[in-house]
Structure formats: structure tokens, C-alpha cells
């Protein structure tokens, strides 16, 4: 099947999980302020309603500019950012979260993540600060990112606010079965970053074959597969063409044979692997 023109795929076409649109725009390494703002504006006017950024990306102000420039109400945008590992002490969380709000030009965040369980992260102190922000109404949801099952179980146990989502690298070369199983058991949503394996999925023969079968792109196949796994994908895209192509994945329907073929890919490749990661 051919995907519809992205211009005619309404925002309502995008499924939601607990109110969160299951396809969003990632902004990692989108460091040129003008380009970043334009990509955010373009995405929102294409139909996206989920924008993801982080303190460490250095582009929160540009993301805010893009949201302000778009012909979309702030209340219709699910906006997420992340607290960096040097800012996870209790008081630093409270201070830098407000700084992020100022840079983004918004009064609240739909989702605020612990970026990594590392450096200044202390489960009880860090998450107590997140719960304070939640109780103050500055954030609608508490999230964690790059948490392994053990860290996630502790976070859910100690946080006085619900843990809404765990954002992890996720794509056909890193399906994260144990993380997804733990999230499912704990009623935590999974958000997948680098869902195209930083472009590597384009070269996978299995993905190529399925893309040809459906007359769609490899990126659309990978994003449709993520949706079948109940994972919210946030691919980075800067050009209008890539933004539209990813949005077009919403009309791609994979069959059981397609899913099984992708699941059977016998290759593992983690694209984001810093030394401070909890698995190292």
C-alpha cells in the first residue's frame, strides 16, 4: 500500500497512549537554532503533536521558538524535556527544571525525564524533586530515560508520583525485550529514541524487502513496527521531506509475517553507549 500524502494525515490519525501521541519529533543533535525552530514548526504544522528535547541538547530555546511560531495551540502539544546528569541533585532539579521552562517559553511540561540514572542521580532525592514539580503542576508527568529494569523498579517504588514513561533506544536492531516487559509489568509507557538506528535500518535486507512489498520507505516500516510493539517513537528529523516521510508511517499497516520477519533479524546494534550508562 502507498502512504497518503503527509499533508492530509490529520493529527487525530496518530494513536495515543495515556494521552501521549505515539509518534513525535526528536531533536537530538539539532543544534542550529534556526533549523531547529523551523523543523519543530514544520512538524507541528504537518500534524505532529509530540516534541522531545533535553537540557543537554542545547536547543530548548529554539524548540520553544518553533512551538511559538507554529499555528498550533500550546495545549495541543505534548512537550517533553530531560534533566541532565549534572543537575539531578534535589535542589538542582528544581532550579534547572524552571530554567528549562523559561528557555522553552512555557508554563508547564507534559513530561519531564531523568535523562540518565548517572552522576548526580540519587533515586530518592532526585525523584522527590520530580514529585514536587508534579505536585506544583509544573509537570504533568514524571519520566525516566535509559533505565534498565533494576533502576526502573527502584524508581517506581520510591517516587511519590507515578512514573509515566521510560525513554530508551529502540529499533529493530535493539528491541529491548526485557526493558519492555518490565515497563509493561509496572504500567510504564515505553518511548523509543533512535528508532531508525541512526539510519542503519535502511541497509537491512529484511526492512528493504518489507518496504518494497508495501511501496513505502524503510523508515516508515521501522516506525510502523515500533507502533505494533506499543512503543512511542520519536525519530529525529530536520528536513521537511524526512518529517513528512516519518509522519506518513501512520498509514503503514504491517501484517504478522512482516512483524515476524523484523523480529527475527539476527543482529544487535546499540547506537548510544556512553561509559556512564547503567549497562556499562
Q: Catalytic residue positions?
A: 57
Distance separating alpha carbons of residues 175 and 158, to the nearest angstrom: 27
Count CB neighbours of 239 within 10 A: 12
240-247 vs 33-46: helix crossing angle, rounded to 10: 30
**Residue 99 phi/psi, 5° resolution?**
-65, -40
Q: Rounded to whole angstroms, how far apart are CA atoms 209 and 136? A: 50
207: left (phi over 0), alpha (psi -120 to 50) or beta: alpha
Concatenate the DSSP letters of all residues of the chain into one string: -PPPPGGG--GGGS-EETTEESB-EE-TT---HHHHHHHHHHHHHHT--EEE--GGGT-HHHHHHHHHHSSS-GGG-EEEEEE-GGG-SHHHHHHHHHHHHHHHT-S-BSEEEE--S-TT--HHHHHHHHHHHHHHTSBS-EEEES--HHHHHHHHHH-SS-EEEEEEE-BTTB--HHHHHHHHHHT-EEEEESTTGGGGGGG-HHHHHHHHHHTS-HHHHHHHHHHHTTEEE--B--SHHHHHHHHGGGG----HHHHHHHHT------S---TTSTT-
Amino acid at each position: 500500500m502507498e502512504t497518503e500524502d503527509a499533508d492530509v494525515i490529520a493529527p487525530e490519525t496518530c494513536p495515543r497512549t495515556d494521552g501521549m501521541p505515539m509518534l513525535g519529533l526528536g531533536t537530538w543533535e539539532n543544534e542550529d537554532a534556526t533549523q531547529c525552530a523551523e523543523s519543530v514548526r514544520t512538524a507541528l504544522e504537518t500534524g505532529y503533536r509530540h516534541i522531545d528535547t533535553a537540557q543537554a541538547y542545547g536547543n530548548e530555546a529554539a524548540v520553544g521558538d518553533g512551538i511559538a511560531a507554529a499555528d498550533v495551540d500550546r495545549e495541543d502539544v505534548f512537550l517533553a524535556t530531560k534533566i541532565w546528569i549534572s543537575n539531578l541533585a534535589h535542589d538542582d532539579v528544581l532550579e534547572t527544571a524552571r530554567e528549562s521552562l523559561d528557555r522553552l517559553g512555557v508554563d508547564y511540561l507534559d513530561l519531564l525525564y531523568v535523562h540518565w540514572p548517572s552522576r548526580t542521580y540519587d533515586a530518592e532525592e532526585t525523584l522527590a524533586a520530580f514529585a514536587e514539580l508534579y505536585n506544583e503542576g509544573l509537570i504533568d508527568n514524571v519520566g525516566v530515560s535509559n533505565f534498565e529494569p533494576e533502576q526502573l523498579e527502584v524508581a517506581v517504588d520510591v517516587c511519590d508520583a507515578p512514573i509515566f514513561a521510560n525513554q530508551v533506544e529502540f529499533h529493530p536492531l535493539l528491541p529491548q525485550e526485557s526493558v519492555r516487559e518490565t515497563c509493561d509489568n509496572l504500567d510504564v509507557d515505553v518511548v523509543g529514541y533512535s528508532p531508525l538506528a541512526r539510519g542503519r535500518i535502511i541497509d537491512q535486507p529484511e526492512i528493504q524487502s518489507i518496504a518494497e512489498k508495501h511501496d513505502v520507505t524503510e523508515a516508515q516500516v521501522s516506525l510502523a513496527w515500533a507502533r505494533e510493539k506499543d512503543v512511542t517513537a520519536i525519530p529525529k528529523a530536520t528536513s521537511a521531506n524526512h518529517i513528512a516521510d516519518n509522519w506518513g508511517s501512520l498509514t503503514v499497516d504491517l501484517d504478522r509475517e512482516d512483524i515476524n520477519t523484523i523480529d527475527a533479524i539476527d543482529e544487535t546494534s546499540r547506537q548510544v553507549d556512553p561509559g556512564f550508562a547503567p549497562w556499562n
